[in-house]
Amino acid sequence: MRLPLPALLLAGIAVAFFALPLVGLLWRAPWSNAWVYLTDDTALTALRLSLVTSLCATALSIVFGVPLAWLLARVDFPGRGAVRALCLLSMVLPPVVGGVALFFALGRRGVVGQYLDDWFGVTLPFTTAGVVVAQTFVAMPFLVITVEAALRQLDPRLEEASRTLGASRWYTFRRVTLPAIRPALVAGAVLAWARAFGEFGATITFAGNFPGTTQTMPLAVFLSLETNPEEAIVLALVMIAVSFTVLAGLRDRWFGAATQPAGVAS
Amino acid sequence: MTLDARIGLRLGALDLDVELHAEAGEVVALLGPNGAGKSTVLRCLAGLAPVDSGRISIDGVVVDDPADDVFVEPEDRPTGFVFQDYVLFDHLSVLENVAYGVRARGAGRGRARQSANEWLERFDLADHARRRPGALSGGEAQRVALARALATNPRLLLLDEPLAALDAGTRATVRRDLRRHLETFDGMRVVVTHDPVDAHALADRVVVLETGRVVQAGTLAEVTSHPRTRYVADLVGVNLIVGVVLDGVLTTPTGARVVIADAADGSTLATIRPHSVLLTRGDSVASSVRNTWPGTIVDIDRLGERVRLAIDGRLPLTAEITAAALDDLALRAGDRVHASVKATDIEVAPA
């Protein structure tokens, strides 16, 4: 399909708007020293920590987010709108605010945190686990919102057909519901992962900035801006490369299929 | 083996209060206009909607009785459900669709596949085993849905408008196949339809539903000849004539000859609306009407301003005339009349 000229022009400007900062980074990149920065201990540690924590956060988002999306999509309970707003709040909240709130809730003297500390000896702030909690807090809504939309579009009779064939609710969920919403689940998981991977504000507020335990890539980029801008650029480019590879690997059909009514037979 | 159901349910505008019975081997058609609650009755029987009041028992086992706090989940009921437009699992192959129920009930993959293959064989679907449901024709999809439901060995098979999703061209063929396949199943069957031709082809007995209530029940012949409401009279109360067509003339098993406008040779189902039947008194008539049959009035049924007359003869017919015409002709039970129908007023479908 051919777009009308004005739309094409505006779309072109939008693409340029996203491409220019990248060009800026590439322009200023210290190519001759890049390898030194890349193999630098700080960079590698931060990258590994970022990958591990963001994948953990994605896994947690799936484990808790899919049932949450199911609840929001399928169960009609009073106050559902309020519950949904609450669960999606961290998408629009400034991450620093989220981090502060997490601190007062789960910190050593926090509402829940003091019992975690007293009873189980678990301390979340300033630990790698704290990073995962902060990332999950901001990332899970992206998965919930995507999966809930897919569940709403799913023909409920598919699940009913499964039940009449002798399948329990759980079997139905695994064999009918999950395959039908798989495109949305993949898209939601990737969005959540991308959000977790780039998380900065909540992490630095709640988990601090300790190399090796809580200093993720975005934190490392921010700090090296002060001390060594050249290193910051290289680290930023690494982050961009990783994220771009994943998002580009998300084939169009995952996004397309996630917005189609999935799984309706002929 | 019986089905005994009394279903009371309020659902939005629908206020359902229906009694339904079926014996082993029996096919009951639920007929009614849109919104009458036909599909909801099926959903209650399958356990997809719990009843508010009443009781459902299948083979003597109570599956739903709110007063006794009994509710058996759909997966634990001996019911099979064929949905309108079939609702096949698009992410599974045809074989996996049919194997699904057996697998879900705990059988191993091998046994489930073997049983599914047997069902596909029986339903002439063996060639489609590896295909996706999306690639099937309407008739094939319906056979897959039926095989999928029957593969779990239900005692009660529920079919929701099984022919509604098909275009007119394939409908007759699929209807014939469906009847053939349903005949091989010895459990109870409840078919929801709004087409009396389907009811005639598939069912032994009809139950007519209007706005959540049973307005009439009985054999199709009984309901046709004595409709109790306007809806039954207009939609269900048609003359259904089965016979064989040769050169534009349909001959019934009783030897009556019916001239019809355009029909292919072969086994045919003709429908004549009662208000298309003209009645004349006496023995001989001369008119342009091709179809004229002598008969005797055996029954007169008044339905407001209209009157239904049952006419017995070589071709038993139901005619509908106005009360004024009845008075003018001074017709009474036992009178000899001639019934005539224009060939173009007869609708035909291959049977």
pLDDT band (50, 70, 90) for residue A251: low
CATH number reported for the structural domain that contains residue B194 in this entry: 3.40.50.300
* Residue with the two structure tokens 């009073």: A78
Quote the number of domains for chain B.
Answer: 2
| pLDDT value at residue A173 | 92
pLDDT band (50, 70, 90) for residue B288: low
**Amino acid in position A98:** G
Q: Is pLDDT at A262 greater than 50 in this prediction? A: no
Average confidence (pLDDT) over B247-253: 89
Residues B226 and B271 in one domain: no
Residues B171 and B268 in one domain: no
Q: Which residues of A touch B75 (CB under 8 A)?
A: 163-168
Interface mutation target, options A153, A162, A164, chain B, most CBs of B under 10 Å:
A164
Q: Is pLDDT at B286 greater than 70 in this prediction? A: no
Contact A167 B75 (CB under 8 A): yes
Contact B148 A165 (CB under 8 A): yes
Residues B243 and B327 in one domain: yes
Q: Does B62 fall in a domain?
A: yes
pLDDT digit string, tens, across residues A218-227: 999 998 888 8
User: How close A159 gets to chain B, by Cα (Å)?
Assistant: 10
Shortest CA distance from A167: residue in chain B? B104
Residues B217 and B257 in one domain: no
Q: Does B97 fall in a domain?
A: no
Write down which residue in B185, B202, B230 finishes a domain. Answer: B230
User: How close B328 gets to chain A, by Cα (Å)?
Assistant: 56
Write down which residue in B200, B230, B260 finishes a domain. Answer: B230
| pLDDT value at residue B238 | 81
pLDDT digit string, tens, across residues A144-161: 999 999 999 999 999 999
A266 closest CB neighbour out of B81, B104, B134: B134
Q: Does B339 fall in a domain?
A: yes
Q: Is pLDDT at A266 greater than 60 in this prediction? A: no
ipTM of this predicted complex? Answer: 0.78
pLDDT digit string, tens, across residues B108-128: 888 999 999 999 998 889 999
Residues B176 and B216 in one domain: yes
Region of A162 (left: φ > 0; alpha: ψ -120 to 50; beta: rest) is alpha
A224 Cβ neighbours under 8 A, 6+ residues apart = A42, A231, A232, A235
Rg, Å, chain B Cα set: 23
Residues B144 and B48 in one domain: yes
Residue of B43, B140, B116 lying closest to A265 (CA atoms)? B140
- Between B92 and A1, the higher pLDDT residue: B92
| pLDDT value at residue A9 | 94
Q: For residue B241, count other CB atoms closer than 10 A to its CB.
A: 20
A208 Cβ neighbours under 8 A, 6+ residues apart = A125, A126, A130, A214
Q: Which of A38-52, A61-75, A89-103, B281-295 has the lowest mean pLDDT?
A: B281-295
| pLDDT value at residue A102 | 92
CATH number reported for the structural domain that contains residue B339 in this entry: 2.40.50.100
Interatomic CA distance for residues B301 and B294, integer angstroms: 20
Q: Is pLDDT at A110 greater than 90 in this prediction? A: no
B85 Cβ neighbours under 8 A, 6+ residues apart = A265, A266, B164, B165
Alpha-carbon separation of residue A246 from A40, A65, A136, A193, B284 (angstroms):
24, 21, 19, 10, 89
Q: Does B120 fall in a domain?
A: no
Alpha-carbon separation of residue A105 from A98, A121, A169, B139 (angstroms):
10, 16, 35, 60
Domain that holds residue B12: 2-88+136-230
Interface mutation target, options B90, B105, B190, chain A, most CBs of A under 10 Å:
B90
A120 Cβ neighbours under 8 A, 6+ residues apart = none
pLDDT band (50, 70, 90) for residue B287: low
Q: Which of A145-154, A245-254, B195-204, B217-226 has the lowest mean pLDDT?
A: A245-254
| pLDDT value at residue B61 | 93
Residues B202 and B334 in one domain: no
Q: Does B301 fall in a domain?
A: yes
Percent of chain B with pLDDT over 70: 97
* Residue with the two structure tokens 């924590």: A53
Residues B165 and B253 in one domain: no
Residues B290 and B221 in one domain: no
- Between B33 and A168, the higher pLDDT residue: A168
Residue of B197, B346, B227 lying closest to B276 (CA atoms)? B346
| pLDDT value at residue A260 | 41
Angle between helices A41-74 and A128-153 (to 10 degrees): 40
Beta-sheet pairing, B205-210 with B27-31: parallel
Q: Is pLDDT at A27 greater than 70 in this prediction? A: yes
Q: Is pLDDT at A115 greater than 60 in this prediction? A: yes
Q: Does B123 fall in a domain?
A: no
Q: Which residues of A touch B83 (CB under 8 A)?
A: 157, 160-161
Q: Does B107 fall in a domain?
A: no
Q: Which of A16-30, A149-163, A165-179, B277-291 has the lowest mean pLDDT?
A: B277-291
Residues B250 and B318 in one domain: yes
Q: Does B288 fall in a domain?
A: yes
Is residue B99 within 8 Å of B120, Cβ to Cβ? Answer: no
| pLDDT value at residue A113 | 84
Q: Is pLDDT at B141 greater than 80 in this prediction? A: yes
Alpha-carbon separation of residue B347 from B269, B273, B276 (angstroms):
8, 9, 11
B17 Cβ neighbours under 8 A, 6+ residues apart = B7, B8, B212, B213
Percent of chain B with pLDDT over 90: 41
Q: Which of A14-28, B3-17, B112-126, B268-282 has the lowest mean pLDDT?
A: B268-282
Residues B193 and B53 in one domain: yes
Region of B206 (left: φ > 0; alpha: ψ -120 to 50; beta: rest) is beta
pLDDT band (50, 70, 90) for residue A64: very high
B90 closest CB neighbour out of A165, A175, A263: A263
Average pLDDT, chain B: 88
Is residue A139 within 8 Å of A58, Cβ to Cβ? Answer: yes
Helices (H), A175-216: 178-197, 201-206
pLDDT digit string, tens, across residues A227-249: 888 888 988 998 999 888 888 87
Residue of B138, B145, B179 lying closest to B160 (CA atoms)? B145
Q: Which of A116-120, A245-249, B131-135, B286-290 has the lowest mean pLDDT?
A: B286-290
Q: Which of A2-6, B49-53, B141-145 has the lowest mean pLDDT?
A: A2-6
Residues B14 and B81 in one domain: yes
A158 closest CB neighbour out of B89, B105, B148: B89
Domains of chain A in sequence order: 34-259 (1.10.3720.10)
Write down which residue in B201, B230, B259 finishes a domain. Answer: B230
| pLDDT value at residue A263 | 40
